[in-house]
Amino acid sequence: MLGQLSHETEVKVGAGKAWELYGTLKLVLLAKQEFSHTICDVLEGDGGVGTVIKLNFGSLSYTEKYTKVDHERRVKETEAIEGGFLDMGLSLYRLRFEVIGKDEEESCVIKSTIEYEVADGASFDVSIISIKQLADMAEVAKKHLTATASAE
């Protein structure tokens, strides 16, 4: 069974500025700073394809790998490679972040998407998958980007 959840947040900064945060490891650093209950550690890489990050959200812990970082289209994808929902019966848990320019210099939309697939024969309660953490992160990013833009 395939599933998808998504969330969009409009930000009053240009897409290029938002991508400077989302297209790099700066987003991980911001998450570490803003969410005391979240632990994010870069295990390898510099933010490009192949970067591996360990994430801990309370009782849920997993390792993800950056599988796509497209600076031209402003799309980043990560896939869980160990632990978390994979241990519970998912065969795929992918996060996609897209920065979509509305008015290139003045506003953009941050679209966060979770894609998942339940492994054949697994019984997995998909209701435990939530977009809330990505929505919360988008709001933190929005606040950070807006504050940074007004300070310039």
Active-site residues: which are they?
76
Cα dihedral angle (10, 2, 73, 6), rounded to 10 degrees?
0
Question: Of 95, 104, 110, whose CA–CA distance to 141 is shortest?
Answer: 110
Strands 107-118, 60-70: pairing is unpaired
Residues 79 and 65: beta-carbon distance below 8 Å: yes
Beta strand spans in the chain (E): 2-11, 38-44, 52-57, 60-70, 75-83, 90-103, 107-118
DSSP for residue 125: -
Please state, as a whole number, how many other Cβ atoms lie within 10 Å of the Cβ of residue 31. 19
